[in-house]
Chains A and B, each alone.
Chain A
Amino acid sequence: MKATVINYGVGNLFSISAGLKRVGFEVSVNSQPEGNEDLIVFPGVGSFNAVASYLSSHKELLKDLRKSGTYFLGVCLGMQIMFEEGTEGGLTKGLGWFKGKVDKIENNGKDKLKLPHIGWDKLIVTDLTCPLTEGLNNQYVYYVHSYVAYPEDESIVRATTIYGIAYPAIICSDNIVGTQFHPEKSSKIGKIFLGNLYRWMKK
């Protein structure tokens, strides 16, 4: 299966490409979708406003591909921009595929919460029937972020992680998948997730 990793012009795209290749995808990196791929990947590099403005120039094309059944994977920021709006770098509109906003991780004040949240935390799978979450419950995955998604529709959440608050770690709706963690940086567990995605798409 073919995957296109979208190059917004900044950051490391090697890791996500290598991670996808390792589980069987044929990967290319391009500044826009090629139109014939099975999976379009929004990598987790850059800042919300920069990436959102970049993607908004392809908004119609992305919408058409999404409707035609092309799969999408958004990683970290790449997932966040699928929501309606984000506050990082000033209030910016996202793609609006999911209802809700992206904002700083709330601190309930009990602990001094270090931000950015950098490191390994456990996934709590909230939908054990979802093929994407197989083998992931209670496993450590790697995070680097200060912002999280606050979805209006909780039913899209397949797994959460707790850091101050419980926030969405894996979301899925129809052909759109998003992860707040970095599967390409999460060693063996990240590979399991990407393998799950590959098999799920193949069915």
Chain B
Amino acid sequence: MTAKRIIACLDVKKGRVVKGVNFLDLKDKGDPTELAARYEDEGADEIVFLDVTATIEGRRALLEVVKNTASVLSIPLTVGGGIRTIDDVSTILGNGADKVSINTAAVENKKLITEAALQFGSQAVVVAIDAKKVDDDYKVFTRSGSYNTGLSAIRWAKEVEALGAGEILLTSIDRDGTREGYDITLTKMISEAVSIPVIASGGAGKEVHFLEALKVADAALAAGVFHDGVIRIQDLKMYLKSQGLEVRL
């Protein structure tokens, strides 16, 4: 059985790690390469860098960070944030990322998913879906959670799978940064609707939240609770194992 994955996410701004709460209120959390290596040592199964700068200088700094990190890391590295074109995908993978995570551009230009999957393989293409509950339905939001596309999350998830996405990174906007737990209803719904792996994101605050999420998802992602030291990945994995989940120790 494939082990359930714990993914540490680092929000990167101008080459430094910051943390976002509800996508706002950023706080410097240090050097991404150092943090990524530390998380690998502690047992993280994967690292995600989300570039929260959209400027050219920010992007250059990010590529430098990706390159440095890829040469010290020996677990998979995904990079997302501001990826708009096939050239962006190519540059990021060429600098040492294993996967790219595409969010807004996937909605606005569906062909990008298919083109990237054809050129680099589905395994390199993660589509990030930011979902928020609106009148009893989950809608897809883009542009850092500020724009309601009106798309139903479940329909969009099925569509990105058909377009060639290899994984879905599913974030609950309602839960993100709250530490009240992942949105299990949303996660279960999407995970059952597609046959590609689903990564749960948004709301992790306690070890039990990961357990709940991993019963319905293939992987769980968190940022703040790891950066603040509220949860140590090693302890978390021991706990998950004691609860009967298969994890890599």
Contact = CB atoms under 8 A, between A and B. Distances in A.
Interface of A: 10-12, 14-15, 17-19, 22, 45-47, 77, 112-121, 140, 142, 144-146, 163, 184-188, 190-191
B197 A121 contact: no
B75 A47 contact: no
10 contacts: A11-B120, A12-B70, A12-B96, A46-B120, A46-B121, A114-B196, A115-B196, A119-B2, A144-B98, A163-B2
B54 interface: no
Contacts of A142: 75-76
Interface in B104-161: 118-124
Contacts of A121: 1-3
Interface string B162-196: 00001100000000000000000000000000011
B74 A15 contact: yes
B97 interface: yes
B191 to A, nearest CB: 9
Given A45-B120, A115-B196, A185 B3 contact: no
A114 B45 contact: no
B120 A184 contact: no
Given A119-B218, A120-B45, A142-B75, A185 B98 contact: yes
Given A112-B195, A114-B218, A145 B123 contact: yes
Contacts of A77: 121
B74 A118 contact: no
Contact of B166 (A47, A116, A120, A190): A116
B5 A15 contact: no
B52 interface: no
B83 to A, nearest CB: 15
A119 B96 contact: no
The winner among A77, A118, A190 for most chain B CB atoms within 10 A is A118
Contacts of B2: 114, 117, 119-121, 163
A187 B197 contact: no
B198 to A, nearest CB: 9
B218 A47 contact: no
A113 B90 CA distance: 29
A120 B98 contact: no
A184 B124 CA distance: 16
Contacts of A187: 40, 74-75
B128 to A, nearest CB: 15
Contacts of B195: 112-115
A78 to B, nearest CB: 13
A146 B121 CA distance: 10
Contacts of B94: 11-12
A19 B93 CA distance: 17
Contacts of B200: none
A32 B77 CA distance: 27
Contacts of A45: 93, 120-121
B38 to A, nearest CB: 13
Contacts of B218: 114, 118-119
- Which residue, of A10, A18, A47, A120, has the highest number of chain B Cβ atoms within 10 A? A120
B72 interface: yes
B3 A144 contact: no
B67 interface: yes
Given A10-B90, A45-B93, A45-B121, 12 more contacts: A12-B96, A15-B77, A47-B118, A114-B196, A114-B197, A115-B196, A116-B123, A116-B167, A120-B45, A142-B76, A184-B74, A186-B75
